[in-house]
């Protein structure tokens, strides 16, 4: 597993149902619609924050929200399949 990923916080921004079905090991679930209201929680987590979703669209929106709130070390990990490949 790349060191950048092992030292990062991996955030799954999909719905709790999607997360329950399958997710990247070690990821935490903060659905996209909760990202802004949970920004203080996200600020406390180890950086970088790598967000992913099903295809990369929701995670791109989540990264934009994080950066608007001062979390500059936010990365779009893309879709779940991309993240699963990257964390092997």
Third-level CATH fold of 10-86: Oxidized Rhodanese; domain 1 (3.40.250)
Smallest CA-to-CA distance from 37 within 69, 84, 64, 14 is with 69
Across the beta sheet with 74-79, what order do the strands follow?
A: 28-29, 9-12, 49-53, 74-79
Tell me, yes or no, if 53 is annotated catalytic. Answer: yes
Q: Taking every pair of C-alpha atoms in the chain, what is the biggest distance, in angstroms?
A: 32
State both tokens at 11: 């955030």
Q: Which of 27, 30, 35, 53 is catalytic?
A: 53
Summarised one tens digit per residue, pLDDT across range 19-37 is 999 999 999 999 999 999 9
Predicted structure pTM score:
0.93
Report the SS3 class of residue 24: coil
Is residue 2's pLDDT more than 70?
no
């Amino acid at each position: 597993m790349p060191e950048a990923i092992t030292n990062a916080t991996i955030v799954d921004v999909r719905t709790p149902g999607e997360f329950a079905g399958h997710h990247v090991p070690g990821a935490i679930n903060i659905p996209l619609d909760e990202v802004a209201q949970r920004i203080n929680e996200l600020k406390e987590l180890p950086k970088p924050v790598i967000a992913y979703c099903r295809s990369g669209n929701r995670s791109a929106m989540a990264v934009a929200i994080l950066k608007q709130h001062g979390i500059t070390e936010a990365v779009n990990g893309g879709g779940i399949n991309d993240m699963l490949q990257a964390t092997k």
